[in-house]
Structure 1
Amino acid sequence: MAKPNYSYEKRQKELAKQRKKQEKLQRKVHKHDEPQAGEAEQSSATQPASGAAPTQNPAN
């Protein structure tokens, strides 16, 4: 009967942990970047609307 290769299992477990940690880090980075892009879109959408209102008032 073959004996179990514990060092192989340990190495695979460590690699899985590293992959999971990297994926989590990438999700954090992307999650942090996305709200900024969303805020920029919202603020840019808000600025033209507020900027357009004062220009219409002096023309009247």
Structure 2
Amino acid sequence: MAKPNYSYEKRQRELEKKKKKEEKAFKKSSGGGGSSGNSNDTTGQEQPAAAGTPEGEAPAA
């Protein structure tokens, strides 16, 4: 039976951490501000249907 290669696993974890850190630094430098991360939270989501109406039906006006 093969022995687990702990040094390989550790190296992979380190590379993953380094990659995430670089991505975070890139986003921070290109983002331009702290509010840019929060703007995507609401823009890509659909508005909820009016209360009491099933989805796909227009509310009675």
Give the TM bin, normalised by the shorter chain: 0.5 to 0.7
Quote the Cα distance in structure 1 between the aligned partners of 2:31 and 2:22.
14
- Structure number with the bigger relative contact order (C-alpha 8 A, sep ≥ 6) is 2
Per the alignment, residue 50 of structure 2 pairs with none
Quote the Cα distance in structure 2 between the aligned partners of 1:5 and 1:32.
42
Per the alignment, residue 4 of structure 2 pairs with 4
Runs of 4+ in 1 over 2 A off after TM superposition: none
Q: Which runs of 5+ in 1 are unaligned?
A: 36-60
**Matched residue of 2:32: which SS?**
helix
User: 1:32 Cα shift?
Assistant: 1.3
TM-score by length of 1: 0.53
Percentage of matched positions with identical amino acids: 59
The one-letter code of the counterpart of 2:16 is: A
**Matched residue of 1:2: which SS?**
coil
Specify the structure having the higher radius of gyration (Cα). 1
Question: How many residues get paired?
Answer: 34
Per the alignment, residue 13 of structure 2 pairs with 13
